[in-house]
Structure 1
């Protein structure tokens, strides 16, 4: 019996049902190709190891939840050439690697060997949402966009944190997975085999709606706010090439180019834009599609594919905008799913995994009904007993219907996020709730959706834009389909102000506290809350305040917070702090120029230069000159300035071999200067 184990952290290994590893079985044709490659390498002197060979996976696996079977569809022939009995949730997707494949649902991931057809471990996913599956070198990968997690499946699966919510991932030919953090704008890379993000070399503008695609094997960020496409090349984000036509902020880009053009579906204009981003771009192509809700676009490299959800209609178009083909896929209690295989074909499957439409690289469509392979059995004809009574006609069970509306749907806004909660529908209409579909749309048009398990009652939506009002809708799903959605009252994510940067200057016994760099993050300032050690709290509306009566040598810590209002809420921002020590009295002396007087004789007579700081301002003091032999050689008066400072250069001395210093009497005691040795001249 399978035992579900949690996914590891960044570098941990997965705990599996059995310690044995599935033996890899290489198809004979593939084995011959690899051997031939090794022979060529031997003859030509090539030294690359054979194990580095990597062939693009062909075909596509689909999970039929009605039968509990995973089927492999041959993309070239549309035949079912393999089937495996494996457990999985309804609506699960299948992603395949080199030797194993994985049935992936919101609450479980089940592995099986694609050659031996042996079922493996059940793996607990890192988040309760349906991930985006990516089949690529070094993978396959599961990207949990809302939770900000990436799972790389394989012999030792690992979970990698992305540092925040991400958009749809893309992958380049070397197997590097590229991710766009929807909040910060950072564009990050996950290298094959890495246990953490390799780097985030470039950033798109923060909070700009956009999507990644791949053109010329380089990641490209399509900024849907500005209508520019920026190529990420090393640690540089290109200046941006114009799309040539306006698009709405909630548009979607295909993850691969269509003959060098980026394909963008705009749901507000019901159109697909094929934009040329070359140095001398051709005129963009705009394809207008019938009204409806669409999934996609997905590119085969030469064609672009969409699916209209309501009727399950598959549409394909060429790079010149010409319609290639149209076909319907069955509606079986959920939305159809589009998957681009490593063979560049697009596989469109119904929610129950009972039908696949294969889109060729040229945009052609071929239907592949998913049926189990079976051995013909002998036919047995039963002869009825004429003496037997005819049994009464049995009334068939009433079929299941989509569930009712979720109860008590509510949402609470956070910083760039919202948390939505709900209760189950009053009845499931003869089929258990398999999942909930949570969707959101902002006032600017940008939106999204995610799928969580049927047992969930709450989920967080991250990557929202502060200051934008969002309406969040929850709908229950069972095997008969999705029920009506219920919207929570609109919520507006807000952010408290950033921390101010305080600075202290000292004048005349007072500390002048000012601050700068306060980002209110879209809020309206109410006041600043200022605290200081030993003083009552203050609220001020200016960017500064003054603290007087500070004792010498005292250390004071100042903290400033901005209090703002946003969308009717009062928020206290992050604290900015600094500490300041009040300077105490100090005296510095040095030997000055030579002089003479009645009591001071050449050649050893010279002035004693004295500098006083930190004394009371505008106050008269007595500067006492002392030596190792005489405590009070002479005392002369001086007066400080408005800053409590003074310079006095009228003291003189003439006894070689003595050490001298200057002191003054203050309310807190006598303060002395440094000491100097009086050298003979």
Structure 2
């Protein structure tokens, strides 16, 4: 459902304004702790929690902030809270159940629902707008302009600050080209993954193409902004991070090999690039030269962790339930910050002249364990009648032995070896079992941009349908048991269809056949070659749109087929539908008969026409017809031309010698010849 702008103004923005004397929380990063049902503010500079706002929300909710308000955004509701009074306002339902991209910028914040093609501005004035179709990840310049790439039509569109609709779509990508947007020095650029170039987005088009110097890879992922002038790119198939120079005189790209894994990112903040390896549950950071700065395990917990760039340009990783945040410093070093209520002073300490309270269940000192010596009574004073260490005092009775307490169940681990393969309008996922952690895995939940699916705990394979061919999807699989939801593991795939059938034409020249066709719809894949075959003939692989077969047998019918062989963006080879055409190679035939009477200067008594019928010769070509008899090898030779089918009927020869056996020989321009039947002239 689409949120009306007026409803958002009333329900989300509200009438609340900062009250005089109330503390306004400074810029930084907000995280939602779904366990405590509260939004917490984190000062990235000090890595400390300094504010808390109780707000109802959903599991895996994210927080985006504007100048005076923050918004807890889940898949079921969006709830506003004041940054000055830290109180929650009413909730509204989002326009889509997919996970949006939150953009904190001037005039915002914005939520971009990529598959639904919807943009929600939560700032004042609030509005919900259509992007005109599915879009890629947005970027926003410092002046509050939002740039979006419409993936279906190849248009680059802009939403100006304060506008209530997409302002314009001034840039059209070259046909068939795909890629992503990024910012370099606060200017939008297009990373073209089809031809491996970077181009600036100008007022009415794209700037000059700058080669990236990378191997071809259509599934490159681009950071939303540069790091020290270089564009970070992730190749998830090759497990490589690239730092590309987009300047006209580009330096060689920096290549960073990564350990095998399933990566989220890249996200750039200042001079740091961050990636999350879902396989190992690790946050990796690198500087602008590609040197690794830090590697930090992500604290375990249910839900899926989120890698973001905060309003302060720092990189943060929010735990799935928001109970921990990893903060990436400007030097790339990572700090783990537990998300707990801010402290209200130091913990209570015992007075200096008072002994510390006794600790329950504390074992005696090591020298007294296992010796059979009595344990001193911590409450005994100097006025006791007996020294507790004297042999006359009986040792206290030993407590009965007890079994160690059972270790409680915890949420399962991440599924192993998650893989995804794109098919036509669908994708197939497979994974290994997640660690149960003392409670049976009851289900696996698969989520992606635009949907989710739950399967049984014994399932290791699932098919996802209803996807858009040519669109890259990242699927995250999590395991669920009675203790909760475990961490996710991800894999990406791009659905693609088989190519449609080429429209095939066939023409004959004698016993030779020529085939031609036009390129069909490739279904989102790239052409490998065309596969051409004919009845009883060898198969050809050709790169162009034509092929030929020569010297075919006369009198036979041949059926020719042509299909496009394509490679999907996931590297899978697919045979397309076949176009076919049949053609018959006629047998050469020459027949003569005695025709009607005639008379010429050289033919008088008993003179008649010699009817000659020719078929199976090269079409539209000249043939010679030589008349012969028992007594004369060449009575007369004349030329004629065959029609488009290689046939002709010729009646200009005549003859006048009764009792003679006559015949004709027809010879084609290529030297082949055929003799007719013989008749006795009457």
> Would you call these one fold, judging by a TM-score over 0.5?
yes
1:265 paired with 2:234, answer yes
1:296-341 per-residue CA deviation (whole Å, 9 max, x = no partner) reads 1111131211121223322222212222222222131243211111
2:409 to 399, 402, 407: 399
1:464 to 446, 469, 478: 469
2:499 and 2:564 in contact (8 A); partners too:
no
Give the Å deviation of 1:246. Answer: 1.9
Segments of 5+ residues of structure 1 without an aligned counterpart are 1-5, 32-56, 439-448, 499-516, 525-563, 572-681
Three-state SS of the structure 1 residue aligned to 2:336 is: strand
How many angstroms apart in 2 are the aligned matches of 1:364 and 1:451? 35
How many angstroms apart in 2 are the aligned matches of 1:252 and 1:281? 20
- Tell me what 2:70 maps to: 101
Three-state SS of the structure 2 residue aligned to 1:304 is: strand
1:533-577 per-residue CA deviation (whole Å, 9 max, x = no partner) reads xxxxxxxxxxxxxxxxxxxxxxxxxxxxxxx99989999xxxxxx
1:227 paired with 2:196, answer yes
How many angstroms apart in 1 are the aligned matches of 2:467 and 2:236? 22
| Residues 403 and 108 of structure 1, relative CA distance in 2, 3 Å threshold | farther
- Tell me what 1:371 maps to: 340
- Tell me what 2:675 maps to: none
Equivalent residues in 2 for 1:588-667 (5 A)? none
Give the Å deviation of 1:373. Answer: 2.9
2:277 to 283, 308, 312: 308
How many angstroms apart in 1 are the aligned matches of 2:244 and 2:88? 45
2:221 and 2:266 in contact (8 A); partners too:
yes
How many angstroms apart in 2 are the aligned matches of 1:369 and 1:154? 29
1:338 to 303, 307, 316: 307
Provide the aligned length of Structure 1 versus Structure 2: 465
Larger radius of gyration: 2
How many angstroms apart in 2 are the aligned matches of 1:304 and 1:193? 31
Give the Å deviation of 1:284. Answer: 1.7
2:146 to 173, 177, 186: 177
1:46-103 per-residue CA deviation (whole Å, 9 max, x = no partner) reads xxxxxxxxxxx62101111222221110011111000112111222111111111111
2:8 to 6, 14, 20: 14
How many angstroms apart in 1 are the aligned matches of 2:264 and 2:422? 28
| Residues 261 and 374 of structure 1, relative CA distance in 2, 3 Å threshold | closer
1:251 paired with 2:220, answer yes
- Tell me what 1:151 maps to: 120
1:106 and 1:453 in contact (8 A); partners too:
no
Give the Å deviation of 1:235. Answer: 0.7
- Tell me what 1:437 maps to: 447
- Tell me what 2:611 maps to: none
Give the Å deviation of 1:216. Answer: 2.5
Taking structure 1 as the reference length, the TM-score comes to: 0.58
Give the Å deviation of 1:209. Answer: 3.5
- Tell me what 1:191 maps to: 160
1:204 and 1:221 in contact (8 A); partners too:
no
How many angstroms apart in 2 are the aligned matches of 1:487 and 1:169? 19
1:217 to 169, 186, 190: 186
1:351 paired with 2:320, answer yes
| Residues 431 and 418 of structure 1, relative CA distance in 2, 3 Å threshold | closer
Give the Å deviation of 1:232. Answer: 0.6
2:29 and 2:312 in contact (8 A); partners too:
no
Equivalent residues in 2 for 1:42-57 (5 A)? none
- Tell me what 2:18 maps to: 24
1:360-399 per-residue CA deviation (whole Å, 9 max, x = no partner) reads 2342323322122355579999999xxxx99x99976852
How many angstroms apart in 2 are the aligned matches of 1:421 and 1:277? 36
How many angstroms apart in 1 are the aligned matches of 2:154 and 2:232? 21
How many angstroms apart in 2 are the aligned matches of 1:190 and 1:404? 39
How many angstroms apart in 2 are the aligned matches of 1:404 and 1:76? 32
1:71 paired with 2:40, answer yes
How many angstroms apart in 2 are the aligned matches of 1:261 and 1:436? 34
- Tell me what 1:38 maps to: none
Three-state SS of the structure 1 residue aligned to 2:201 is: strand
Taking structure 2 as the reference length, the TM-score comes to: 0.58
Three-state SS of the structure 1 residue aligned to 2:317 is: strand
1:521 paired with 2:531, answer no
How many angstroms apart in 1 are the aligned matches of 2:254 and 2:185? 19
| Residues 83 and 322 of structure 1, relative CA distance in 2, 3 Å threshold | same
2:281 and 2:297 in contact (8 A); partners too:
yes
| Residues 153 and 396 of structure 1, relative CA distance in 2, 3 Å threshold | farther
Equivalent residues in 2 for 1:274-285 (5 A)? 274-285=243-254
2:23 and 2:84 in contact (8 A); partners too:
no
1:168-214 per-residue CA deviation (whole Å, 9 max, x = no partner) reads 11111111111111222111111112221111110223453311100
How many angstroms apart in 2 are the aligned matches of 1:366 and 1:277? 32
2:278 and 2:489 in contact (8 A); partners too:
no
Segments of 5+ residues of structure 2 without an aligned counterpart are 351-356, 362-398, 456-461, 503-516, 524-529, 531-562, 566-573, 579-682
Give the Å deviation of 1:115. Answer: 1.4
2:469 and 2:495 in contact (8 A); partners too:
no
